[in-house]
Structure 1
Amino acid sequence: MADIVAKTKRLKPTKAHCPTCDGGDRTCDIHGTVYIPWTWEDRIGNTVSGGVTHSLLQCRGCETVFYEIDSWDTEDRDMWHGPSGELCGENIHTKATYPKPESRTKPIWLSAILKQDEELHAILNEMYVAYDNQAFILTAIGLRTALDRGTAKLGIEAALTFEEKLKRLQTTGVIGETERRILEVVTNAGNAAAHQGWAPTAQQLRQLLSALEVFLQRAFVYGQNTLALKDKIPAKQRRPKVSVVATPTQVETAEGIVQPTKT
């Protein structure tokens, strides 16, 4: 066992996608690696081959230990022509790490939602898990569910339709007309996903997520925190009244002090 540990310590560090660090590859130490080649052949002689490298890595930044799988096969190659016109190619490697890195950073204010409503916080957490695993239909449904719970927390009757709930938010001054129209799109997307199996693209879903996050952030986090400052801000000071005294060339009347008309 000591010989194995000593040997793995001498492995050259590599770049890998740490599941904890935010974005991009990080320099990682390799604590162990196993390469497994494979070959497949059919009855008429067609063959496909490839290989899988299994590695146990540790990030040098946050020290997270994680597993990486690096696979390739002869059916997935990058081809190009060399300087003399010859055909060149190399195998394309597909890498994945476990635990899987989050594809979208959760908003920093998400923990503040927990203080406001545990159910809404749980819905949002599951929605982000679905998004990270590219379950875009489930994510779109989660958007609608989170919005529904948010309106209930703001005092909107549960028996109303989504359209009626958004109109009630607008008439009570919680949202404006533009935001109501934006949230209607979020609602329609969730309905289409739930009832028609509509799957938004990654870009479309990012836009829908951003729209919901803006609403929740203002309604439950920064908006509430800002309103709490109302009683702590000093009141506006009134300007003192300035008394005006008539000059010898002016006449004081019921309408005020005026300049006499020359005759």
Structure 2
Amino acid sequence: MATKEIKPAEKKIVKAHCPKCDGERNCTEHGTIYKAWDWEDKYHGHSMNGGVDHSLLECLGCETVFYHTESWDSEGYEPYYDAMGETQYETIKERATYPKPETKTKPVWLDAMQKKDPQLHNILDQMYIALDNQAHILTAIALRTALDRATECLGIDPAKTFEEKLNELRDGGWIGQTERDILGVVTDAGNAAAHRGWEPGSQEITQLVLSMEVFLHRAFIVGQEALGIKGNIPAKPKRLPPPAAVGKAT
């Protein structure tokens, strides 16, 4: 009796945002499960419902395996008009992948900070994680902490106030008056976030991060490397003494 060959079921191909390619790619769906949920406020009569699709996907390009969710709820919808001009409603679905794509805002020189000062590198690394997750309050606090550590690495007494530290950076030639004022804004933003719960907007936090990057890049990367070139520059040749006069014309 001939045995029937059992072929494995073909896996579904879906499109999803690959965290490594950082773009929408065709992916193999290795498994999926849908979880519905309901909520009801028995005292006031309010209710909601929704659901989440959980999937394990593998990118067909880079072969990265990642977790993908697609969620919806009864409160999220947007109107549109059909061919007859009637108003219809479409459910808004939120999609997320884990791990998240690595930030594109990290400067290329960030890894070099590990050799300069591991603690400062760690602060900056966590700052970018907060930035990736739109945690702007935490980002502002981390920027102030990074500035505090940077001044200590440059030899400034950590017991001094931020105002004193910034003035010493200026007086020591590390920054000019304009940059001193800019870093003062970074400090004030961090203080307001830490002590008053102030949250900067997306554009504001971007400007604060860029200001810090400019300072760190020059103080720890470009400036140090430029100083290292000094030993390779040949010394200026000494001028030869003028020849002695043979005689005077009569």
Which TM bucket (shorter chain)? 0.7 to 0.9
Whether the 8 Å CA contact 2:11–2:30 is kept in 1: the answer is: no
Q: Distance in 1 between matches of 2:165 and 2:45?
A: 65
Aligned to 1:11: 12
- Indicate the SS of the match to 1:63: coil
Q: Distance in 1 between matches of 2:136 and 2:153?
A: 26
Q: Distance in 2 between matches of 1:217 and 1:211?
A: 10
Amino acid of the structure 2 residue aligned with 1:56: L
- How many pairs are equivalent? 238
Aligned to 2:131: 131
Q: Is 1:143 matched up with 2:182?
A: no
Percent identity, aligned pairs only, is 55
Q: Distance in 2 between matches of 1:176 and 1:199?
A: 28
Q: Can you list the C-alpha shifts for 1:210-238, whole angstroms capped at 9, x where unaligned?
A: 11111111111122112211222345678
Aligned to 2:59: 59
Whether the 8 Å CA contact 2:13–2:27 is kept in 1: the answer is: no
* Residue 102 of structure 1: how far off its partner (Å): 3.9
Aligned to 1:225: 225
TM-score if structure 2 supplies the norm length? 0.83
Whether the 8 Å CA contact 2:13–2:26 is kept in 1: the answer is: no
* Residue 49 of structure 1: how far off its partner (Å): 4.2
Aligned to 1:27: 26
- Indicate the SS of the match to 1:189: helix
Amino acid of the structure 2 residue aligned with 1:152: E
Amino acid of the structure 2 residue aligned with 1:13: V
Aligned to 2:167: 167
* Residue 41 of structure 1: how far off its partner (Å): 6.3
Amino acid of the structure 1 residue aligned with 2:110: L
* Residue 110 of structure 1: how far off its partner (Å): 1.3
Aligned to 2:176: 176
* Residue 196 of structure 1: how far off its partner (Å): 1.2
The unaligned stretches of length 5 or more in structure 1 are 244-251, 253-263
Aligned to 2:246: none
TM-score if structure 1 supplies the norm length? 0.79
Q: Can you list the C-alpha shifts for 1:55-91, whole angstroms capped at 9, x where unaligned?
A: 1111233322110110123321121223432112211
* Residue 48 of structure 1: how far off its partner (Å): 4.5
Amino acid of the structure 2 residue aligned with 1:10: K
Q: Distance in 1 between matches of 2:187 and 2:14?
A: 47
Q: Distance in 1 between matches of 2:208 and 2:187?
A: 9
Whether the 8 Å CA contact 2:80–2:89 is kept in 1: the answer is: yes
The unaligned stretches of length 5 or more in structure 2 are 1-5, 244-248
* Residue 46 of structure 1: how far off its partner (Å): 7.4
- Indicate the SS of the match to 1:97: strand
Q: Distance in 1 between matches of 2:145 and 2:125?
A: 12
Whether the 8 Å CA contact 1:104–1:132 is kept in 2: the answer is: no
Name the Cα RMSD after superposition. Answer: 3.0
Q: Is 1:214 matched up with 2:232?
A: no
Query: Rg larger in 1 or in 2?
Result: 1
Q: Distance in 2 between matches of 1:219 and 1:69?
A: 43
Whether the 8 Å CA contact 2:152–2:158 is kept in 1: the answer is: yes
Q: Distance in 2 between matches of 1:175 and 1:45?
A: 61
Aligned to 2:3: none
Alignment CA distance shift 1:189-1:47 (3 Å): closer
Alignment CA distance shift 1:71-1:46 (3 Å): same
